[in-house]
Chains A and B, each alone.
Chain A
Amino acid sequence: MNLIGTLPLVLDVKTLFFIINKGLQGNVCGQEFLDIILMAAAFDQKVVVLFEGDGVNALLKNQQPECLNLKNMMPVLDTLPVYDINDVIVEKESMEVYGLTENELAIKAAVVSRSDIKKRLRSADHLFGF
């Protein structure tokens, strides 16, 4: 059997949603999750990053995790455009819960309502959380 002939030569492009709904500093999972996001983009998948719930706080400016000898994730978030990840969205309702405004966010992100996010989630191929 010609196995080579049955293998796809190019990976199917899928829409992958990566949902950050908790702080990135709590454990090593946050850091690993960001690595997965970058890798998915490096494999030419369509990547969407969604911040909601407690996760909206991961976008705050002036985070200083170095004071606890923790890695600062902001530089990694800054690299998203390098890997052509430009579809970054934040849930409007969660922003309101924490009283945040768009100009308090450290990276460029679109503020989208919960119901519009739901529509987008439904059309995604896979949803990832951590």
Chain B
Amino acid sequence: MLAELARDEDGFLINRNQWSEGVAEAMALEDGLTLTASHWDIIYFMQAYYDEFNHQPNARLFARAIKKKLGAEKGASIYLYKLFPDGPLKYANKYAGLPIPPSCI
């Protein structure tokens, strides 16, 4: 499934039109992660934020925006890192089919 998709060197989708929940799950599995409902909350949030504001926040703003929308518990760094151990901002964007955020290197 993933082999047919155009992706950049970090594995981010080049074309968001190719995104589906199945693609997100496959990309996560490839990174050794099984997506749960808690992951999906963050992923959907990421997509909605991007669609509304056409802007990608940095890590601190990202946590802040989640806190405002989904509650303080989910905006806590420790919670986000438990979900996405290699970096919540980068990987939430990746599984959301969005570009790599400018603040991620």
Contacts and interface: CB of A to CB of B under 8 A. Distances in A.
Contacts of B54: 72, 75
A45 to B, nearest CB: 12
Contacts of B68: 82-84
A41 B60 CA distance: 10
A32 interface: no
B55 A75 contact: yes
A41 B69 CA distance: 16
A127 interface: no
B92 to A, nearest CB: 16
Contacts of B2: none
Mostly helix, strand, loop or mixed at chain B's interface?
Answer: helix
Contacts of B69: 82
A75 B55 CA distance: 7
Contacts of B52: 78
Contacts of A41: 64
A82 B60 contact: no
B35 interface: no
B65 interface: yes
Interface in A76-115: 76, 78-79, 82-84
Interface in A26-59: 35, 38-39, 41-43
A42 B75 CA distance: 12
B55 A76 contact: yes
A78 B61 contact: no
B53 A39 contact: no
Interface in B11-42: none
Interface string B68-93: 11000000000000000000000000
B77 to A, nearest CB: 12
A104 B61 CA distance: 29
A42 B61 contact: yes
Interface of B: 49, 52-55, 57-58, 60-61, 64-65, 68-69
Cβ-closest 4 pairs across A and B: A75-B54, A75-B53, A42-B64, A75-B55
23 contacts: A38-B57, A38-B61, A39-B58, A39-B61, A41-B64, A42-B61, A43-B60, A72-B54, A75-B54, A76-B53, A78-B52, A79-B53, A79-B55, A82-B49, A82-B53, A82-B64, A82-B65, A82-B68, A82-B69, A83-B61, A83-B64, A83-B65, A83-B68
